[in-house]
């Protein structure tokens, strides 16, 4: 079902299409764009429609079951469930602020440079 066919659809029909798409590619932002809605709409639907929220949860679990052998389990879970994502790590790196490069230019390239040692 393409986006052109979704313009005349009811919210209930868009929810069904969202779940169908989400089952194949469980990324909320992408699935929401597929039905020409934003993520806030999806979050509101999940809060107000328990059946829809359960269908999305089942779709997510179905995708995990079908793809668990294709990727590492920790990556799979972090992709699907925010609470399993590792904590964000921050690095504090200090680099030198000045670098000195000395180049001694010899007039005759065939002669050894006495200062270069």
Q: Is 88 among the domain residues?
A: no
pLDDT in tens, 53-67: 999 999 988 887 887
Q: Which structural domain range is residue 68 located in?
A: 3-82
Give the count of domains, the chain: 1
pLDDT in tens, 16-47: 999 999 998 888 888 999 999 999 999 999 99
What pTM does this model have? 0.59
Q: Name the nearest CA neighbour of 41 among 54, 23, 56, 28.
A: 28
Q: Is 111 among the domain residues?
A: no
Q: Is 59 among the domain residues?
A: yes
Q: Is 95 among the domain residues?
A: no
Q: Is 68 among the domain residues?
A: yes
Q: Is 114 among the domain residues?
A: no
> Three-class SS of residue 105?
coil
């Amino acid at each position: 079902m393409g986006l052109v066919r979704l313009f005349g659809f009811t919210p209930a029909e868009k929810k069904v299409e969202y779940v169908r798409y989400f089952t194949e590619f469980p990324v909320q932002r992408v699935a929401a764009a597929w039905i020409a809605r934003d993520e806030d709409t999806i979050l509101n639907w999940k809060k107000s429609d328990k059946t829809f929220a359960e269908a999305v949860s089942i779709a997510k679990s179905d995708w995990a079951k079908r793809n668990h052998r294709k990727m590492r389990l920790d990556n799979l879970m972090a992709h699907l469930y925010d609470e399993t994502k590792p904590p964000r790590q921050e690095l504090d790196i200090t680099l030198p602020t000045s670098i000195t490069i000395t180049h001694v230019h010899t007039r005759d390239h065939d002669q050894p440079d006495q200062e270069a040692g």
